[in-house]
Amino acid sequence: MKGKSFEIALSAVACALAVIFLVFGAYIPMFDLSAYMFSTIALMLPLAKRFYMGGFMAYLATALLTLLISGGNFVYVLPFAMFFGLHGLANSLQLKYSINKYLALIIKIIWFDISLAIMYKFTQLFMTDSDLVTEYIIKYIYIAIPLLGSAFFVFYDWLIMRAQNIVNIFVSRYKK
C-alpha cells in the first residue's frame, strides 16, 4: 500500500505543477508555449518511477482542472490535451516496450504534425497582428507544418528525452 500512496502523491504533485504552469500560460499569453513544455516536464514525475497509470491520470486531471480554472478556455487546453500532455507518457512507453527509436520518432513526428494542423485549424496559435504575415501563413501553412514542424519536433523530442533523464535522477533520490 505504501507504493500506491507514493504513486498517488507523486501524480498529484505532477498535476498541481502542470496546472500551475498551464494557468499562467492561459493568463499570460507570452508564456503559453513555455507553459506547455513545463507542464510536460511536470507530468514526468510519476513516469520517473514507472507509474504510467498515475501519469495518465495526472494528465487527465491537469487538462480538466486547467479547463475549469481558465474559464473553459478550450482553445488554450487543446494543444496540451492533443499533444504536450501525452508526449512524456509516449516517450516513457516507447522506452518501456523497447520500440525502435527511429520508428517511434516517425510516428511521433506524424502525431505532432497532425496536432499542429488541428491546432492551426481550431486555434489562433500561429496568428499574429500583421496581416501580411497572417496571409503568408494561411497560404503556406500546410507546407510549413510538415517541414518546419518536423524539424522543430526532432529537437523538441530530444530535449524532452533529456529532461526525462534529469527528472528520473531527481525522483530516484526519493524512496517509495
pLDDT value of position 130:
56
pTM of the model: 0.88
In 3D space, the residue among 97, 22, 9, 24 whose CA is nearest the CA of residue 54 turns out to be 9
Count of positions (residues) in the chain: 176
Residue 126: per-residue pLDDT: 52
> How does DSSP classify residue 73?
-
d(CA 92, CA 76): 25
Q: What is the pLDDT along the chain (176 residues), one digit of tens a residue?
A: 567 999 999 999 999 999 999 999 999 988 988 999 999 999 999 999 999 999 999 999 999 999 999 999 888 999 999 999 999 999 999 999 999 999 999 999 999 999 998 888 877 555 555 565 667 777 788 888 899 999 999 999 999 999 999 999 999 887 65
pLDDT at 109: 97
pLDDT score of 124: 59
Q: What confidence score (pLDDT) does residue 157 get? A: 97
Which long-range contacts does 137-143 make (Cβ < 8 Å, 24+ apart)?
Answer: 142/117
CA distances 171 to 4, 147, 164, Å, are 16, 36, 10
| Interatomic CA distance for residues 45 and 4, integer angstroms | 15
What pLDDT score was predicted for residue 120?
82
Q: Is 123 exposed, middle or buried (0-12, 13-18, 19+ CB in 10 A)?
A: middle
Supply the pLDDT for residue 129: 57
- Cβ-based neighbour number of residue 38 at 10 Å: 20
- Rounded to an integer, what distance in angstroms lies between the CA atom of residue 163 and that of residue 41? 7
**Which residues have C-beta within 8 Å of that of residue 126, sequence separation ≥ 6?**
119, 120, 137, 141
Q: Could you give the CA distance from residue 48 to residue 166 in angstroms, rounded to a whole number? A: 9
